[in-house]
A and B are shown apart, each in its own frame.
Chain A
Amino acid sequence: MKIIGFAVTSLALVGMVLFVLNGSEQQSTTEKLDNGSAVQTDEALSEQLQLSIGDKAASFSFIEYIDYKCSSCARFHKTTWPEVKEAFIDTGKARLVIRNIPFIGPDSRRAAHASFCAAEQGLFEPFHDEVYSYTHNEFEDKGEGIAQQDILTTEKLSEFMQNVEGNMEEFNRCTADEKYDSLIVQDLKSSESDQVIGTPTFIIGAQKITGPKPISVMGPIIEASL
């Protein structure tokens, strides 16, 4: 009995310290979301060109903050995402909104720009899949780090767009002009308001999930927030 008592107390001690370290940050995020002031998406351009996957008429949407060079995002996209998509997106229960916070390398921002240019042609989802399939299959799966390399080159991004049968002339013009830079800046501001500390981070209703998580963790949070 003594051992069990000791076990519970010591765990409670560790838990208490970690809860205190974690609690304040999480609470402020929730407060901001409850007040509805965390996300400022009132610009017409942003409304028109929201990076999203799923039925626009879905009554519930949740946010994923990404960087196209984030290896955890690539792993999430390959493992948990198909299950989340099947359970909540394909059934029309929810819609995923993507926000870019390109912080890993210069090609992160290049890819973010390109994703808006793909969205302009209504090809965001297949383009998004192309990028993550490439980073996951060509690098992550082979144990190669991507952070230090310039892998999402202009040529590579054009190749992805060709694969999804986009209009290359428009795409190239759009990426060269960095037409949607203000939207990336807006996403970055939103991430500050939401106190995002890394990618991927999910904002689901009033809850925030930091880091990639399996469907058994994400599913109940989405379900409870619907």
Chain B
Amino acid sequence: MKRVPFSLQLRASLKGIKTVLRDFRYAAAAVFFAVAGLGIILWSLNYSLLGFVLFESGLPIGTKVSFVFGIYEGLFGLVDNLQSIIFVVFAALFGINLSLLIYVIVKRARFSSTHIKSAGGFAMAILAGGCAACGASILAPILLSIGVTSLLAVHYIGILVAVLGIILTAWSLFQLGKLAATLSKI
């Protein structure tokens, strides 16, 4: 069997991504996931603080809200430029990736005999569906969080791990884009 050239695969993948993001719902989901992904990275190592301030502190609601979203301020000034770029690039890829993942699963569910009818089913599909690209979508932010940890102590190892996270996400995006392109024709 003849192997499809990489350039054609890439073109198909980009076309798939474009098709999905033209749908407002998926574009909005991508933005939502990108912002949430960035928050997950910036809050890493400090998640227990969220629990403390939100549920135990007794602070006013306005302070709690500004506390949760205030973490994004740290992206400018408290993190060096290279790290900021890595975080933003990753968050954008992560958002598009999860949006594509939803598209692929919804389309598959709609047209295959195995219907995924609930959110729990979605989770199971990610964990047990055997879709490597899907698993990568979930694993990458964890990898990047580990990168943030290392960044505090060993700068260059942190950058390396963060770059690996981006590569993993980009690969997942490429695979999901191809799947989306195929499914959009159905």
Spell out A's residues near B (CB within 8 Å).
Answer: 2-3, 5-11, 13-15, 17-19, 21-23, 26-27, 30, 71-72, 75-76, 79-80, 103, 140, 143, 145, 147, 197-199, 207, 209-217, 220-221, 223-224
Contacts and interface: CB of A to CB of B under 8 A. Distances in A.
Contacts, number: 143
B119 A6 contact: yes
Contacts of A210: 45-46, 152
Interface stretch (B9-17, B71-79, B163-171): B71-79
Contacts of B44: 18, 22
B53 interface: yes
B155 A216 contact: no
Interface residues of B, number: 54
Given A9-B122, A9-B123, A18-B142, A220 B78 contact: no
Contacts of B148: 211
Interface string B125-149: 0100000000000100110010011
A199 B71 CA distance: 18
Interface of B: 25-26, 29, 32-33, 36, 40, 44-49, 52-53, 56-59, 63-64, 66-67, 69-71, 73-74, 77-81, 98, 101-102, 105-106, 118-120, 122-123, 126, 138, 141-142, 145, 148-149, 151-153, 155
A9 B119 contact: yes
B70 to A, nearest CB: 3
Contacts of B149: 197-198
A199 B25 CA distance: 41
Contact of B46 (A7, A17, A76, A211): A211
Secondary structure of the B side of the interface? helix
Given A6-B122, A10-B122, A76-B78, A198 B52 contact: no
Secondary structure of the A side of the interface? helix
A213 B80 CA distance: 13
A189 to B, nearest CB: 18
Contacts of B126: 10, 13
9 contacts: A5-B122, A13-B123, A21-B142, A22-B45, A26-B48, A75-B77, A140-B80, A197-B149, A220-B53
